[in-house]
């Protein structure tokens, strides 16, 4: 088979893999946005005529200044959810330990995929000079390089405050 035929046969695979990798990089970097602040016109769940200043961490009700109690750095319904929020915070503290390990794990995976990618790319590019062109290797290489970039970007994002 000629090089041109090989390229035409694998072109779909190439763009498909590139597009999937780009999507992966995008979601790894930007993630899904979330909000914890009450919207402007929200009223207290317990006092319908008073504007809410916070959202309880345990039951997610909007509450006014009189109804909220501070538990550590979190907000809870006074005399209702304080113990629940304490429990949630304790669980979350345990979660932050793995949060510190994740960036390193992602970075390591990124490096590994990067090495794979470069290896496949070099092999594929070198093979172009011979009679047995290995386009599959080049596509694999590009795919792994994109994957690597996604993991390293994700690791950077975790590190940001
Ligand atoms: Zn509550
Ligand atoms: Zn209230």
Where helices occur in the chain by DSSP H, the ranges are 3-30, 82-127, 135-159
pLDDT at site 9: 63
Is residue 74 within 8 Å of 63, Cβ to Cβ? Answer: no
pLDDT (tens digit per residue) in 107-161: 999 999 999 999 999 988 888 887 777 788 888 899 999 999 999 988 887 765 5
pLDDT at site 123: 87
Q: In the numeric block, which tokens belong to residue 16?
A: 């498909």
User: Ligand 2 center to residue 90 CA distance, Å?
Assistant: 26
Q: Is 66 helix (H, G, I), strand (E, B) or coil?
A: coil
User: Ligand 1 center to residue 61 CA distance, Å?
Assistant: 6
User: Ligand 1 center to residue 91 CA distance, Å?
Assistant: 17
Residue among 59, 52, 50 nearest 37 (CA): 52
Q: In this structure, which ligand is nearest to the CA of 45?
A: 2
Q: How far apart are CA 29 and CA 152, in angstroms?
A: 9
pLDDT at site 59: 96
pLDDT (tens digit per residue) in 3-51: 666 666 677 777 777 787 777 777 777 765 545 555 567 899 999 999 9
Q: Where are the domains of the chain?
A: 3-32+96-159, 35-80
Q: How far apart are CA 60 and CA 161, in angstroms?
A: 24
Q: In the numeric block, which tokens belong to residue 17?
A: 């893999």
pLDDT (tens digit per residue) in 103-117: 888 899 999 999 999
User: Ligand 2 center to residue 88 CA distance, Å?
Assistant: 22
The pTM is what? 0.43
């Amino acid at each position: 088979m000629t090089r041109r035929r090989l390229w035409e046969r694998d072109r779909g695979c190439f763009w498909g893999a590139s597009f999937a990798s780009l999507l992966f990089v995008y979601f790894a970097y930007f993630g899904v946005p979330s909000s914890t602040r009450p919207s402007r016109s929200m009223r207290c769940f317990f006092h319908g005529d008073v504007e809410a200043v916070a959202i309880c961490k345990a039951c997610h009700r909007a509450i006014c200044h009189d109804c909220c109690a501070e538990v550590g750095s979190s907000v809870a319904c006074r005399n209702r959810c304080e113990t629940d929020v304490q429990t949630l915070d304790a669980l979350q503290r345990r979660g932050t330990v793995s949060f510190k390990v994740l960036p390193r794990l992602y970075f390591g995976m990124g490096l590994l995929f990067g090495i794979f990618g470069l290896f496949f790319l070099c092999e594929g590019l070198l093979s172009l000079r011979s009679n047995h062109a290995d386009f599959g290797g080049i596509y694999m290489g590009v795919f792994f390089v994109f994957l690597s970039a996604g993991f390293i970007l994700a690791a950077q994002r975790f590190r940001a405050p």
